[in-house]
Structure 1
Amino acid sequence: MHLKSLLALAPLCLLLGAAAPEPQKPVDLQRYAGRWYEVARLHNKLEEDCTNAEATYTPTADGGYTVTQACLPENARPRLFHANMKIMDPGMNAKFRLTFFLVVHKDYWVLDYAPDHSWVVLGEPTGKYLWLFSRTPDLKANRSALVARAKSLGYDTSKLIYDKGA
């Protein structure tokens, strides 16, 4: 089956609860590093009351990366989560595993990103969770491109939860 045919089936597969679409482009980790601002996400328990969420990817001296995820709930103390990142597909660098608290593992996939790295669509293998991130805190700047790309990947964008600034 051709790649275009497989991609055309992505919306149906996600509706039926199948896995997320596979990443198609290699990720330049040096360009991916830095701060990302969450524009929107599909519901997940951890971020239930979260606003102003962001994730920062920082290179380490040993060639790895650490990740700090910040959740800034309204009228509550910020929640910070620190993780170590391991690349699961060396060479492609689009699949990585974050390890929190030494024992909690979560896999993330870079499903797509803008040529200028101004936005990224981040998912995970089950297709249940999705995050749309922008490089700038002006969350409206890339919103339409992110939502359109998520929809073309088969996600139900009507269920997106938008950050206050988006």
Structure 2
Amino acid sequence: MAPRTEGHVDLKRYQGTWYELARLPMFFQRNCAQSEAHYALKPDGNIAVTNRCRTMEGKWEEATGTASPQVEGKTDKLWVVFDNWFSRLLPGVAKGNYWVLDVSDDYKLAIVGNPNRKYLWLLSRTAHVDDKTRNDLLMKAQQQGYDTTRLIWRVEDSKIAKVAE
């Protein structure tokens, strides 16, 4: 059985910057020590996506793409396609499931995953949360059937090399 989604997500409130607190391992983020996503609602109802990743060496990498509803009018299940060589080579094949499983009433916390539970992201509007908030997010992800023992947590700033910007 697939995980439960939020139902309705107000994309206007969802846009903005989200910091990744933790994620399940994934190939495209294998070098990321810190990640953040920037979402901007476009006039056509889709979302412009800019993901940034900071490596342990302190360098920033960036990927841009577009998120669009999988079903018109439904905002909790999105397709995300990044503008890279793979998506240009195989248009329509290189799109990922982005399911909003939970979003707090104040739109400050979110849990995003995919239907086969291979991917999971715990997101916040701030780069750090208190232990209670962290434990609440973990509990919600576990209740949805995700293996939270495999989560990769955000690396503290002090552990990342200082690089001239």
Aligned twin of 1:16: none
Instruction: Verify the 8 A CA contact 2:45 2:68 in the aligned structure 1.
Output: no
Q: Which one of the candidate residues 18, 41, 44 is aligned to 1:59? A: 41
Q: Does 1:77 align with 2:59?
A: yes
TM-score computed with the length of structure 1 as normaliser: 0.81
What pairs with 1:67-146 in structure 2 (closer than 5 Å)?
A: 67-101=49-83, 102=88, 103=91, 104-140=94-130, 142-146=133-137
* Count of paired positions: 148
Specify the SS of the correspondent of 2:139.
helix
Aligned twin of 2:140: 149
Aligned twin of 1:4: none
Q: Counterpart amino acid of 2:55?
A: P
Specify the SS of the correspondent of 2:149.
helix
Unpaired stretches in structure 1, ≥5 consecutive residues: 1-18
Partners in 1 of 2:147 and 2:128 — Cα distance? 24
TM-score computed with the length of structure 2 as normaliser: 0.81
- What is the percent sequence identity of the aligned residues? 35
Specify the SS of the correspondent of 1:150.
helix
Instruction: Verify the 8 A CA contact 1:26 1:91 in the aligned structure 2.
Output: no
Specify the SS of the correspondent of 2:43.
coil
Unpaired stretches in structure 2, ≥5 consecutive residues: 157-165
Partners in 1 of 2:41 and 2:104 — Cα distance? 21
Relative to structure 1, the CA distance from residue 23 to residue 146 in structure 2 (aligned partners, 3 Å threshold; closer, same or farther) is same
Relative to structure 1, the CA distance from residue 153 to residue 116 in structure 2 (aligned partners, 3 Å threshold; closer, same or farther) is same
